[in-house]
Chain A
Amino acid sequence: MATAIEFNHVSKLYRLGLVSTGTFREDIKRWWITSVQKKEDPYLTIGETNDRGTKGESQFVWALRDIDFKVEQGDVVGIIGKNGAGKSTLLKLLSKITAPTTGDIRARGRIASLLEVGTGMHPEMTGRENIYLNGAILGMTKSEITRKLDEIIDFSGCERYIDTPVKRYSSGMRVRLGFAVAAHLDPDILVVDEVLAVGDAEFQKKAIGKMQDVSQGGGRTVLFVSHNMASVRALCKNGVLLENGKTKMIGEIGSIINEYMSSMVSSENIPISEIPREGKLNNNIKYTQIQFLDFNNNSITPHTGQPLRIRVRVHVSSPGFKAATFTVTISDSMANPMLIYPSSMSTPAFNVAEGTHYFDCDIPKLPLTGGSYRVSLWCGINGVGTDHLENKIKLDVIDDDYFQYGREISANLKGKVVFDEHVWHKSE
């Protein structure tokens, strides 16, 4: 197969901080060195890798550093990475919104980029007028739009409102209209940034279906950025993992996603001894720390369907106790309990000596869907509570494919339901 896109050692340097008199002085100096003295730009050599979390020495960072890979024609490539890894910058370079600092990008065929849906729509104009405007902005000609107009209106599902100004549309309808135009671009190369995250469940299904059609029907190349692992897995064959502006891994999507998930290190140990407790508790056994780990004891951000070990550190006061039990409860963001893991009902009670101990609660396949949850901890001796933290600890779960079936749960159920192993079959 022919190569559709080729990135040749592409780098992009960004300047941090404010533009002010200081930058003006720098610009003059830079101009003097590069244009008058004909030397190399001094600022290009001092850029640092882009790590959002650490404070750097220099004001210049490499948002992308030496990106070098090829995309085959007809391939669907997922680009994944943490926030600030350089995914959007990569798409911006490919969409010609900004130019690379060094290196070049070569591509075959018409590129359409969808970094936002409904770009340039004017609220005072009708849906129909906006289809033309938005289509032309995305690179279609008038006659092309006229030819596809009925199809676009039909796909958007906004037929009734098509001659109404867009400002009267709901935000969801605007997104639908915008996506409908974009879906009919028919480019050779489609570049899509996290646009599927908007819209309701029905729309998402439609959008993913359309993307699948685009990639399967007729050798179109798709570059797709998303934080949603389920949709990346469902759509893409290959993937590129970016980390701090560099390519960390290139290859088959499954292995890329695994690599990405293992690199998602959450805040390691959450100290909890200082969090105020409810009620009167003697604190003979007291929680002092909680960690979310995988079964190899690496710190992780939990993923749906993956193993999760909740490790707690407790402090036991003198002289030690018999019959200690521990309970972890996970509630949704509205504090409705969803899962309970009580040692008193599953495991013989523990005898604990004075001092600090660790206890693990192992969940082999996390049934929570992607979202934000609250964790409660309770412990007691002979059923009498000694420590209780109610909904004080935040737990973020990243949505993933529980059943390994390439399907994603609809957005309105996320964070509200749990999965369980089951089998559906036709009864005899």
Chain B
Amino acid sequence: MAKNNNGEWTTIIRPKESLWKLNLKELWDYRDLCSLFIRRDITTAFKQTVLGPLWFIIQPTMTVLLYAVVFGNIAKIPTDGLPEPLFYLAGVSLWGYFSGCLGRARSTFTGNVNLFGKVYFPRLIVPISGLVSGLLTFGIQMLLFAVVYCVYVFGHLPGSEHLSMNYTALLFPLYVVMLAGLGLGFGIIFSSFSTKYRDIGILLNYVTSLWMYATPIIYPLSTVTDPRLKMAMQINPVTSIFEGFKYGFLGAGEFSWNWLSYSFIVMVVLLLFGTIVFNQKERNFMDTV
């Protein structure tokens, strides 16, 4: 059979592609789909609810109250001298965004079987759009954080004397990008490995809930005195982000350029590795999912 010159073909479907073929152009071509997915997530989030977006505020408020009672008042875990509502709210909102990104990315394959089984588009669009639509919740919670912050500062409520904002708060956008990147990276890796064996998915539910306690959310890093334990905590790549955020906005926490750089490198490595695994997996996952 006469083979045509490869250059003429616009599509070539092969059993395997090179590991490094990421096809960013294709992702870019589908940017409209990404924005429509985001819009879908946002418009359908609270359809047919009475309170609507208020739920974005009610949920973290209840969690913060619960933490304040259980961890603050009963277990008496210190908060670096910061007002409990602000301390917990910062941790809960950041963790909410991170675990949201992780969760959406993680269920990319298993949660979209029907869609993926019928039509092709770059599968990465789904977890990427999840990062952006998660920002809506996060943004509202950050507004809540700002309101509570102002109430404390201008109301001179007890604990407000310890509050101070500094220039590292300007790193906030970087923190958000890093949380999203880490969530996406971990998520797509786990998603790729759980298409065949659901064990990974079950395991990860468990790991995520433990992970929260390995992150300085309900306690500040400064309470960890054992140097080995502290090192273990800092190896957790989200720790430096949480501490950096609290340091920048509340004035208490352990800010470290070194650990932030470490987290950033982890994120880049995870994203690279994750995209490669994900791209390999997306080609055949329908057979095993």
The listed residue (A19, A23, A106, A120) touching B11 by CB distance below 8 A is: A106
Q: Is the CB of B287 within 8 A of A14?
A: yes
Query: What is the CA–CA distance of A109 and B6 in the complex, to the nearest angstrom?
Result: 14
- Does B172 sit within 8 A of A, measured CB to CB? no
Q: Is the CB of B119 within 8 A of A104?
A: no
* B116 nearest CB neighbor, chain A only: A97
B30 CB → nearest A CB, Å: 8
A18 CB → nearest B CB, Å: 11
- Does B233 sit within 8 A of A, measured CB to CB? no
B32: chain A residues within 8 A (beta carbon): 136, 140-142
Q: Is the CB of A129 within 8 A of B10?
A: no
- Interface-located stretch among A111-119, A226-234, A307-315: A111-119
B11: chain A residues within 8 A (beta carbon): 105-108, 111
- Interface-located stretch among A48-56, A88-96, A349-357, A394-402: A88-96
Q: Is the CB of A108 within 8 A of B118?
A: no
Q: Is the CB of A120 within 8 A of B12?
A: no
Of B13, B48, B284, B288, the most chain A CB neighbours within 10 A belong to B13
- Interface-located stretch among B36-44, B149-157, B207-215: B36-44
- Does A211 sit within 8 A of B, measured CB to CB? no
Query: What is the CA–CA distance of A69 and B119 in the complex, to the nearest angstrom?
Result: 23
* A108 nearest CB neighbor, chain B only: B10
- Known contacts A97-B117, A116-B118, A136-B33; decide if A124 and B284 are in contact (CB<8 Å): no
What does the 1/0 interface line of B1-29 toward A look like (CB < 8 Å)? 10010101111111110000000000000
B118: chain A residues within 8 A (beta carbon): 97, 115-116, 119
A89 CB → nearest B CB, Å: 10
* B287 nearest CB neighbor, chain A only: A98
- Does B206 sit within 8 A of A, measured CB to CB? no
- Known contacts A19-B197, A24-B197; decide if A98 and B119 are in contact (CB<8 Å): no
Query: What is the CA–CA distance of A107 and B11 in the complex, to the nearest angstrom?
Result: 5
- Does A100 sit within 8 A of B, measured CB to CB? yes
Query: What is the CA–CA distance of A142 and B47 in the complex, to the nearest angstrom?
Result: 24
- Does A139 sit within 8 A of B, measured CB to CB? yes
A99: chain B residues within 8 A (beta carbon): 13-16, 283-284
The listed residue (A98, A111, A119) touching B286 by CB distance below 8 A is: A98
A-B contact pairs, 11 of them (CB 8 A): A6-B4, A24-B197, A93-B13, A97-B119, A102-B15, A105-B12, A107-B12, A116-B118, A136-B30, A137-B115, A137-B119
Interface size on B, residues (CB 8 A): 38
Query: What is the CA–CA distance of A116 and B117 in the complex, to the nearest angstrom?
Result: 10
A109: chain B residues within 8 A (beta carbon): 10
A129: chain B residues within 8 A (beta carbon): 39-40, 43
Q: Is the CB of A104 within 8 A of B13?
A: yes
Q: Is the CB of B120 within 8 A of A97?
A: yes
Query: What is the CA–CA distance of A27 and B286 in the complex, to the nearest angstrom?
Result: 17
The listed residue (B12, B196, B283) touching A106 by CB distance below 8 A is: B12
A404 CB → nearest B CB, Å: 35
Q: Is the CB of A137 within 8 A of B121?
A: yes
Residues of A within 8 A of B (CB): 3, 6, 8, 14-15, 19, 23-24, 27, 68, 92-111, 113, 115-116, 119-120, 122, 124-125, 129, 132-133, 136-142, 165
Query: What is the CA–CA distance of A93 and B120 in the complex, to the nearest angstrom?
Result: 10
A105: chain B residues within 8 A (beta carbon): 11-13
* Chain B, range 78-106, C-beta contacts under 8 Å to A: none
Query: What is the CA–CA distance of A125 and B9 in the complex, to the nearest angstrom?
Result: 38
A3: chain B residues within 8 A (beta carbon): 4
B262 CB → nearest A CB, Å: 31
The 5 closest A-B pairs by CB, nearest first: A96-B120, A99-B283, A136-B33, A105-B13, A106-B9
- Known contacts A120-B119, A122-B44; decide if A96 and B13 are in contact (CB<8 Å): yes
B287: chain A residues within 8 A (beta carbon): 14-15, 98
Q: Is the CB of B12 within 8 A of A95?
A: no
Q: Is the CB of A106 within 8 A of B15?
A: no
Q: Is the CB of A100 within 8 A of B9?
A: no
B115: chain A residues within 8 A (beta carbon): 119-120, 137
The listed residue (B48, B119, B283) touching A113 by CB distance below 8 A is: B119
B248 CB → nearest A CB, Å: 38
B30: chain A residues within 8 A (beta carbon): 136, 139
Q: Is the CB of B15 within 8 A of A136?
A: no
* B198 nearest CB neighbor, chain A only: A19
Query: What is the CA–CA distance of A236 and B11 in the complex, to the nearest angstrom?
Result: 24
A109 CB → nearest B CB, Å: 6
What does the 1/0 interface line of B176-219 toward A look like (CB < 8 Å)? 00000000000000000000110000000000000000000000
* A139 nearest CB neighbor, chain B only: B121
A110: chain B residues within 8 A (beta carbon): 10
Given contacts A98-B284, A104-B14, A107-B11, 5 further A-B contacts (CB under 8 A): A97-B119, A106-B6, A107-B13, A136-B36, A142-B36
A346 CB → nearest B CB, Å: 53
Query: What is the CA–CA distance of A107 and B287 in the complex, to the nearest angstrom?
Result: 23
B36: chain A residues within 8 A (beta carbon): 132-133, 136, 142
Query: What is the CA–CA distance of A93 and B12 in the complex, to the nearest angstrom?
Result: 11
B74 CB → nearest A CB, Å: 41
Query: What is the CA–CA distance of A355 and B8 in the complex, to the nearest angstrom?
Result: 72
Q: Is the CB of A119 within 8 A of B119?
A: yes
A95: chain B residues within 8 A (beta carbon): 119-120
Query: What is the CA–CA distance of A129 and B41 in the complex, to the nearest angstrom?
Result: 12
A98: chain B residues within 8 A (beta carbon): 283-284, 286-287
B123 CB → nearest A CB, Å: 10
Query: What is the CA–CA distance of A95 and B44 in the complex, to the nearest angstrom?
Result: 29
B237 CB → nearest A CB, Å: 29
B110 CB → nearest A CB, Å: 13
B55 CB → nearest A CB, Å: 16
A45 CB → nearest B CB, Å: 16
B46 CB → nearest A CB, Å: 10
* B34 nearest CB neighbor, chain A only: A136
B121: chain A residues within 8 A (beta carbon): 137, 139
Query: What is the CA–CA distance of A96 and B26 in the complex, to the nearest angstrom?
Result: 13
B19 CB → nearest A CB, Å: 13
Q: Is the CB of A19 within 8 A of B288?
A: yes
